[in-house]
């Protein structure tokens, strides 16, 4: 059974990226399409999975240099598992810190909205400023 092959345009649609982005990822060494006898690039379903994983890592905030390092380590085989794990743990810690910061910012927004609601419904004294209101929750 012959594996399905996708030209760059079809593959771009399949993974939700532009052909420009795919070529950029190729230039950066993040993906390595195969070539047919004429030298034209093609991709397979395995490439779909790989691009999906790269996009997950990118979605965590992993920088392109870190993505490249991960790909380099992966290409070296299982002897780099500890290094890859450390890179992923670092990325996870950074993502968790960003989430915590976002949650704190959302909490302030929620309190600000609640403060406005209280002002509009007159359940908060008109003289109470937001800083005083916010101090209630510290």
Residues near 64 by Cβ (< 8 Å), separated by ≥ 6?
Answer: 28
Question: Model confidence over 82-117: pLDDT tens digits?
Answer: 999 999 999 999 999 999 999 999 999 999 999 999
Q: Which long-range contacts (CB under 8 A, 24 or more apart) does 105-113 make?
A: 107/137, 108/134, 111/137
Give residue-wise pLDDT tens across range 11-62: 999 999 999 999 999 999 999 999 989 999 899 999 999 999 999 999 988 9
Contact of 59 with 65, CB cutoff 8 Å:
no
Q: Identify the H or E element spanning 52.
A: helix 45-59
In the chain the domains, ranked by start, together with CATH numbers, are: 1-59 (1.10.1660.10)
| pTM for this predicted structure | 0.75
- Number of helices (H), then strands (E), belonging to the chain: the values are 6, 2
């Amino acid at each position: 059974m012959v594996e399905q092959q996708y030209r760059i345009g079809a593959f771009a649609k399949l993974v939700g990226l532009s052909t420009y982005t795919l070529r950029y990822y190729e230039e950066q060494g993040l993906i390595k399409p195969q070539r047919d006898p004429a030298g034209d690039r093609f991709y397979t379903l395995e490439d779909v999975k790989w691009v999906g994983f790269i996009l997950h890592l990118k979605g965590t905030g992993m920088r392109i240099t870190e993505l490249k390092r991960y790909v380099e380590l992966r290409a070296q085989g299982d002897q780099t598992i500890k290094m890859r794990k450390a890179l992923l743990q670092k990325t996870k810690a950074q993502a968790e810190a960003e989430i915590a910061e976002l949650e704190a910012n959302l909490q302030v927004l929620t309190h600000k909205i609640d403060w406005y609601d209280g002002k509009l419904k007159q359940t908060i004294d008109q003289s109470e400023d937001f800083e005083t209101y916010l101090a209630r929750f510290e």
